[in-house]
Chains A and B, each alone.
Chain A
Amino acid sequence: MKRTASLFFAAMVCTVASMTIVSLTTSVTKSDASDNAEPDQTDWKQGALFQPAGKMISSVQNQGFASETITPTKCFEVEIRRPGGPPRVELAGADPQGRAGSVACSTCHSVRKPNVDNRTAATLDEFHQGLQFNHGTIACYSCHHSQNTDSLRMADGTQIDFADVMTLCSQCHSKQAESFAHGAHGGMNGFWDLSRGPQTKNNCIDCHDPHAPAFPKMIVDFKPRDRFNEPVVHDHGETTHE
């Protein structure tokens, strides 16, 4: 028994000794062969270089970022997309030559008396059939100009172009307009850095139908198939994750 134990011990010692020798020889040959390899510490020192930078950044943030600020030169513009102009209304029928056509709002409205009281789609019995209207209790002529139907009407009665629709919306939705002005409302594309390139922003009616402005419901059509997506079965052998 004692003999077996000492044999076992000797074997252990030999293994440890040979492992040490192997590892020593590898490192010797390594340093012989290394032309471009730098000392081991360099790795870690290089890595450590990033630490102070990270620390500095977080301290900037901690100080409430008032002290260290920059104002970069901005040579490009933020362009806000605008509607082309007054809308054209597609005609239901075709002319005798079979051509479809579209007309301006004023084509009909210049010869018809405006009903300034109308505030629902249900009472539009001749035209604009099927119009969905769900925008509070405002009347058509709150926003459409009753005298010049190819333009819009501000709350104080001033006439503005369709292209300036955002000015109109902002009268009531000033909170959203303020956020929009600071990039916190509405989608955008292009460059964050205006010294390198321009940026394009949506306007209100790119996303909101002015007659029914609630953002539409959407359907989810892309799902990653990752382990958080499949229920983990805790019964061994049937686990389906990853």
Chain B
Amino acid sequence: MTANKPSLPIVENFSRRAAVKGGFATLGAASFVAAISPLRHAAQNSSAGEFMQNHYTELTPEQKSDVLARLESEAKENYGADVTIGDDRPIPGTKFVYAINLSVCNGNGKCVEACHKENNHDRATNQSYIRVLEMPVGTMDMEQGSTTYTGIVPKDGKFYLPVQCQQCDEPPCVDVCPVKATWKEEDGIVVVDYNWCIGCRYCEAACPYHARRFNWKKPEVPAEEINPDQSYLSNRIRPVGVVEKCTYCLHRTRRGKLPACLEACPTGARVFGNILDKDSNIRWILENKRVYILKEELGTKPAFFYYFD
């Protein structure tokens, strides 16, 4: 049995194996092998322990602490950084909601940079979960926005629309995942188990807000720039070949802190809070300002609001 252990360790995992079999049935062997060859390269970069790992939601507490310890030592080995990876769970009685004041946002992009640093994104690509769109005044159609603006902001006749994961209550990205590697948690945050994701990118295609990112290459971050305060479902350094997204900084917000993008915003355009707390800022905004959501007609029910004042 040990002699003919499959070369692709992912078939050891049950539902992923089901997906692989499904792939065989529809594609035919040769084309399937060709299609997954990038995954095989990804597989070679990963430890056996990683591929033996169960789905996050099925790990026992002991297995979980083993996994976290393994990931911490991998961060030391691959990046030379001493990190702590926590397992932050939702705080009972919280449902996180974000709002942005578009009258105030001037498109300076400090949030984009803060996300880049906080979430240990690849340095060369300046990756970030936030895009700020420069929009012509008079429309909320984000497809008309441009992200390539530079120079002095704000510009006349424009307003600025920061877009990141809207933590939808009806998330299409979750529905399409063939292996349930992404799901919505009790506090509203849509998370990805980066060790379960097979990198099929269905979710990236399904998200109407272009909120998901695919790791085309191993993220490169110098050891001294790595943010060591990490969480399993959040800003730990993601492997190559998986999809990632904004998690409302759950490694901060589930510990009571404000998200990094909010703290970095020099205009104070960003507001974050618990919508179940009737005294919260966010609740006041929803009750007193005229708020918009993006692509309302799609029925995704975002937990992300925009307002003008």
Decide if A95 is an interface residue (CB 8 Å cutoff).
Answer: no
Taking CB atoms, residues of chain A closer than 8 Å to B108 are 218-220
Given A72-B93, A182-B281, A192-B273, A61 and B116 touching (CB < 8 A)? no
Distance in Å from the Cβ of B145 to the closest Cβ of chain A?
9
Question: Which B-chain residue is minimally distant from A40 (CB atoms)?
Answer: B14
Decide if A54 is an interface residue (CB 8 Å cutoff).
Answer: yes
Question: Which A-chain residue is minimally distant from B266 (CB atoms)?
Answer: A187
Does the CB pair A53–B184 fall under 8 Å? yes
Chain A interface residue count, Cβ-Cβ cutoff 8 angstroms:
64
Decide if A33 is an interface residue (CB 8 Å cutoff).
Answer: yes
Taking CB atoms, residues of chain A closer than 8 Å to B257 are 190-193, 196-197
Q: In the complex, A44→B275 CA distance in Å?
A: 30
Does the CB pair A189–B258 fall under 8 Å? yes
Distance in Å from the Cβ of B46 to the closest Cβ of chain A?
19
Q: In the complex, A182→B279 CA distance in Å?
A: 9
The answer, among A46, A72, A184, for a CB contact under 8 Å with B57, is A46
Taking CB atoms, residues of chain B closer than 8 Å to A218 are 106, 108, 152-153, 266
Decide if B141 is an interface residue (CB 8 Å cutoff).
Answer: no
Given A50-B184, A53-B186, A192-B253, A61 and B275 touching (CB < 8 A)? yes
The segment from B33-41, B77-85, B226-234, B283-291 found at the interface with A is B283-291
Does the CB pair B185–A50 fall under 8 Å? yes
Instruction: Return the 7 tightest CB-CB contacts between A and B, nearest first.
Output: A183-B281, A196-B256, A193-B256, A187-B268, A47-B180, A58-B169, A222-B113
Task: Provide a sorted-by-A list of 10 A–B residue pairs whose CB atoms are within 8 angstroms.
Answer: A38-B14, A70-B278, A71-B279, A184-B284, A184-B309, A189-B263, A202-B268, A223-B126, A223-B148, A224-B131
- Interface residues in chain B, defined as those with a beta carbon under 8 Å from any beta carbon in chain A: 1, 11, 14-15, 17-18, 21, 24, 54-55, 57-58, 91, 93, 95, 99, 101, 104, 106-110, 112-113, 116, 124-128, 131, 147-154, 169-170, 180, 183-186, 188, 210, 213, 216, 253, 255-258, 262-263, 265-268, 271-279, 281-285, 288-289, 301, 309
